[in-house]
């Protein structure tokens, strides 16, 4: 099940909510290339973000094209219609060549008995003792286990297949990259469940090149991973083994790889990811969407003056609209309102105090992960400021762009793909 357009082995999903940092983001990929590792840029913006900001899908491609021209980038690059479904894909067809099909809403809806029975009958090889290369331990699968997994995921796979067919009918099969996202759900997938998902996708003729499962632990927006690193590493290795087996046995694309969503600032995971990439020879796609907006805000705060005042105003507004801002991201944030400073406190902070609270340095006593997560989901408040916000971005563009490039390369691409990192950042926070 090969496709004409293939995603490279290593790639990074980059969000640029206000369409000002594509060149700075691409510079991080250039740094990785100079270090000997090709990491392909994929500019992504979700349907949810377009709705919140009032932007259009074609604006993402326009910003990416301008950045590629300015940088003279001669490697592949892509534009991702992020978290789309069949019924909302139309505006993205002309300007995107990567489609992240989000089926989280369908996961858990019980598939009809006849659908489950047909799947189980078609795949007797999925029962019994499954022991393929790379598994940390064999899977013991009874008929009831297989039926339960099929019942839980087959309708989600059907939803992904419907979206894929709609895109293929418009653009032509093989002309775009397909990712299937199942991460924004409450319960992590097991190795068996991921295997069932991939086998069902193969049955449905979906040439999935990346799959985003739900891992153990918490992947909260803009802050470090919360959970058991050993459990994550074991799950990661099992998932990689499942992907290898599915490619070999079910004809899925040879470049099929994992995609990690909410990958921004998961510092404690990056050495684990790097070890797995090296030991298994695996590919990886990592999405770092909201980090750029936070770097823009950090830059405005550190600039003082009008930028600092704008950040103070945004924080006061965010506190007022906390529930509304958080609701769309409930599955991927963990904000304790009791640990948020009052608007009055922040009103009297210096630029240094504010920057220390927002900057993701888990070892700094002033760092406040609750404030950082609130700003992460509060980008629409900046959008409401219109030109007053964008003018400040442009006024301080040089400084902010340097921050964006440094953050994306030094704190993300280098530790994951190149393998060098600041060990101070590789500490996990326990739940």
Query: In the chain, what are the helix, strand and coil shares in percent, each to the nearest 5?
Result: 55, 10, 35
pLDDT for res 77: 98
Selection from 112, 274, 252 nearest residue 195 by Cα: 252
* Beta pairing, strands 139-141 & 128-130: antiparallel
pLDDT at residue 426 greater than cutoff 60 = no
Render pLDDT for 309-344 as a digit per residue (tens, 0 to 9). 999 999 999 999 999 999 988 888 999 999 999 999
Average pLDDT for 135-145: 97
Per the structure block, which two tokens stand in for 133? 């290369």
Secondary structure (DSSP) of 340-356 = SPPHHHHHT--HHHHHH
Tokens 């979906």 belong to: 206
Is domain 10-289+408-425 in CATH 3.20.20.70, yes or no?
yes
Q: What is the pLDDT of residue 430?
A: 34
As a whole number of angstroms, the distance between CA 302 and CA 298 comes to 6
pLDDT exceeds 80 at position 1: no
β pairing state of 139-141 and 78-84: unpaired
Beta strands in 324-396 (DSSP E): none
Distance (Å, rounded) from C-alpha 76 to C-alpha 82?
A: 18
- Please give the share of the chain, as a percent, with pLDDT higher than 70: 97
DSSP 419: -
Q: Where do the domains of the chain lie? A: 10-289+408-425, 294-395
Q: Average model confidence (pLDDT) for the chain?
A: 95
User: Which helix (DSSP H) or strand (DSSP E) does residue 294 occupy?
Assistant: helix 291-303
What sign does the CA torsion over 230, 233, 235, 238 have?
negative
CA distances to 142, 315, 336, 368 from 347, rounded to whole Å, are 60, 9, 20, 16
Phi (first) and psi of residue 420, to 5 degrees: -115, 135
Q: pLDDT tens-digit profile of 186-222?
A: 899 999 999 999 999 999 999 999 999 999 999 999 9
Q: Strand ranges (DSSP E) for 218-373? A: 257-260, 284-287
Q: Is residue 225 a contact partner of residue 219, using CB atoms and an 8 Å limit?
A: yes
What DSSP string describes 8-39? -SEEEEE--TTS--HHHHHHHHHHHHHTT---
Asked if residue 75 has pLDDT above 70, the reply is yes
Q: pLDDT, tens digit, for every residue of 78-106?
A: 999 999 999 999 999 999 999 999 998 99
Is pLDDT at 44 greater than 60 in this prediction? yes
Rounded Cα gap, residues 328 and 330, in angstroms: 6
Structure confidence at residue 363 as a pLDDT band (50, 70, 90): very high
Rounded Cα gap, residues 98 and 207, in angstroms = 12
Q: Which two tokens stand for residue 65?
A: 């094209």
Residues 416, 408: contact at Cβ < 8 Å? no
């Amino acid at each position: 099940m090969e496709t004409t357009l293939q995603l490279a082995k290593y790639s990074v999903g980059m969000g640029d909510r206000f369409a000002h940092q594509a060149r700075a983001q691409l510079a991080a990929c250039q740094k990785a290339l100079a270090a000997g590792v090709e990491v392909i840029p994929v500019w992504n913006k979700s349907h949810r973000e377009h709705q919140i900001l009032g932007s259009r899908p074609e604006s993402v491609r326009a910003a990416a094209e301008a950045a590629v021209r300015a940088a003279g980038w001669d490697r592949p690059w892509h534009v991702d219609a992020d978290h789309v479904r069949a019924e909302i894909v139309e505006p993205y067809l002309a300007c995107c060549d990567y489609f992240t099909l989000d089926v989280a809403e369908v996961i858990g809806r019980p598939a009809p008995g006849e659908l489950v029975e047909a799947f189980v009958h078609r795949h007797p090889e999925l029962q019994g003792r499954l022991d393929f290369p790379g598994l940390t331990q064999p899977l013991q699968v009874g008929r009831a286990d297989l039926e339960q997994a099929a019942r839980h995921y087959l309708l989600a796979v059907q939803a992904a297949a419907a979206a894929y067919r709609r895109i293929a009918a418009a653009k032509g099969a093989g002309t775009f990259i397909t990712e299937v996202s199942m991460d924004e759900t409450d319960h992590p997938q097991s190795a068996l469940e991921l295997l069932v998902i991939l086998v069902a996708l193969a049955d449905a003729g979906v040439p999935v090149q990346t799959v985003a499962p739900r891992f153990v632990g918490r992947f909260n927006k803009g802050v470090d991973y919360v959970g058991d690193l050993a459990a994550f590493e074991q799950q990661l290795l099992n998932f990689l083994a499942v992907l290898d087996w599915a490619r070999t046995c079910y004809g899925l694309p040879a470049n099929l790889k994992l995609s990690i969503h909410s990958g921004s600032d998961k510092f404690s995971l990056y050495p684990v990811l790097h070890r797995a990439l090296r030991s298994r020879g695996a590919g990886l796609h990592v999405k770092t969407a909201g980090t750029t907006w936070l770097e823009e805000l950090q830059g405005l705060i550190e600039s003082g003056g009008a930028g600092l005042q704008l950040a103070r105003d945004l924080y006061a507004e965010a506190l007022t609209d906390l529930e509304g801002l958080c609701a769309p991201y409930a599955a991927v944030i963990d904000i304790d309102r009791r640990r948020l400073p009052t608007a009055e406190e922040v009103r009297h902070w210096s630029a240094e105090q504010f920057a220390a609270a927002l900057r993701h340095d888990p070892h700094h006593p002033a760092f406040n992960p609750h404030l950082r997560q609130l700003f992460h989901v509060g980008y629409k408040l900046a959008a409401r400021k219109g030109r007053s916000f964008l003018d400040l971005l442009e006024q301080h563009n040089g400084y902010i762009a340097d921050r964006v490039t440094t953050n994306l390369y030094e704190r993300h691409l280098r530790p994951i793909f190149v393998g060098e990192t600041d060990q101070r950042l590789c500490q996990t926070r326990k739940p």
